Amino acid sequence: MSGTKNLFAIGLVSTIAAIAGLLFGFDTGIISGAILFIQKQFVLTTAMKEYIVSSVLIGAMMGSLASGRLTDNYGRRKVMLIVSGLFIFGTLIASLAPNVMWILIGRIVIGIAIGIGSYTAPLYIAEAAPLEIRGGLVSLNQLAITIGIMMSYLINYSFVDSAASWRLMFAIGIIPAVLLAIGVTMLPESPRFLVKQGEKSKARETLQYLRNHPNVEHELMSIESSLHTKQTKFKELFQKNIFKVLLLGIFLGFLQQVCGINTIIYYAPTIFQMAGFPSASSSILATVGIGVVNVLSTVFAIMYLDKLGRRPLLFAGLIGMALSLSILSFGFYYHGDADILRWTAMGSTFVFIICFAFSLGALLWLMVAEIFPLEMRGLAMSIAVFSCWFWNFTVSSTFLTLLDKLGASTTFLMYAMMCVFGLIVSTFVVPETKGVSLETIEHNIRRGVPLREIGMPVENTMAISLHENNIA
């Protein structure tokens, strides 16, 4: 099946996705350093700082809600082009902004691009990639996000001494955005979209190109038959069996954010300064370390998610996150020796990031692509992605206020408690989906098996339900 052309095409598709994920990471991460310099130029209240950090998230919420309809009406490729245009446009506005209002507008436009891209890029890959490597490519997206975050931290660090630093920090994002625009023009439209538009022969040509094989009739037929049932009505999501999985997706989006990940990703230098790091540059350097371990731990997740399974990694991650956040909270409570607080803050945030990256970081995006039945995947996925952005916004826009009102110790303890809550709920509701086909998952959902068992081989779930009926 795979030939040179196939590998080239798949390589191109993955690279494009990687650039969209990279921009997601870059544009969300860059603010952590930039905010320190924006506040030097403009007088900012706590609330204004929170708006600047979270304006991108308001845009992302809007983008993720609109993304399902946009990709259905205009096609994946066109929407990716629009995404790169929005990235370029938003970056220009933010980096040339004469005042805070224009920074906010620019960041909202960038956010819309991130929201649409965070949905469209994985969808585009999933539809173009051969079945055997689809899972790996989805997780590659998370790797690109973490690389984007790391790059933003490195840029934050290298621009630290420049006078107009925050403008340059934002402006660098133009480069990947232009690369994305150029890359997308080289890509074919998704075969699924072409079939939907009635352009069957074009779809056949595209599949032959992507698969490097003349006989693609079987795949074409299965796309056609899945499209017959594709017109999901909103109310179908409320059928009992489907609604349960939708709630699971919404819960995973919620949990990924209420553990407080982005208080570290967006505010790490601020936290390090609070913990006694002497200068902006030493705090930003410590943050670069956060970026590096985030990437490395994501590589670990990609290697082991399919071997160790989703549940063990999730549980280990949540326990590690709860513990490290409790230690961070204790460090701020104790207020003892300045050196001890500094190293406790750094050590515990590093452990927290490692634990997040090998569990919830990679898992959310993987599971929302796995758990929904094909016919409603688009709609359900955009709702789960929206949940993630909504909770991201809620946590990031309240963090500084919580620090002011409750203090660092109580604030981090609250996030630790959220991890414990997540651990308890996940034990009952998160399925193991390792090594099971999406069709089996769908089959189990439709038969109404409990959420935790939707990833089990069909024979096992049948045995369980027979056993339960006998007992009853």
Which residues of this chain interact with ligand BGC, rule CB under 6 A? 28, 142, 145-146, 149, 256, 261-262, 265, 294, 361, 364, 388, 392
Distance CA 407, CA 335 (A): 12
Shortest distance in whole angstroms from residue 253 CB to ligand BGC:
9
Shortest distance in whole angstroms from residue 267 CB to ligand BGC:
12
Pick 83 or 145: Cβ nearer ligand BGC: 145
Pick 313 or 388: Cβ nearer ligand BGC: 388
Shortest distance in whole angstroms from residue 169 CB to ligand BGC:
17
DSSP, res 279 = S
Pick 123 or 194: Cβ nearer ligand BGC: 123
Pick 112 or 445: Cβ nearer ligand BGC: 112
Pick 146 or 426: Cβ nearer ligand BGC: 146
Shortest distance in whole angstroms from residue 25 CB to ligand BGC:
7
Shortest distance in whole angstroms from residue 13 CB to ligand BGC:
21
Shortest distance in whole angstroms from residue 306 CB to ligand BGC:
18
Pick 220 or 261: Cβ nearer ligand BGC: 261
Pick 159 or 358: Cβ nearer ligand BGC: 358
Shortest distance in whole angstroms from residue 90 CB to ligand BGC:
18
Query: What is the number of H-type helices and E-type strands within the chain?
Result: 21, 0
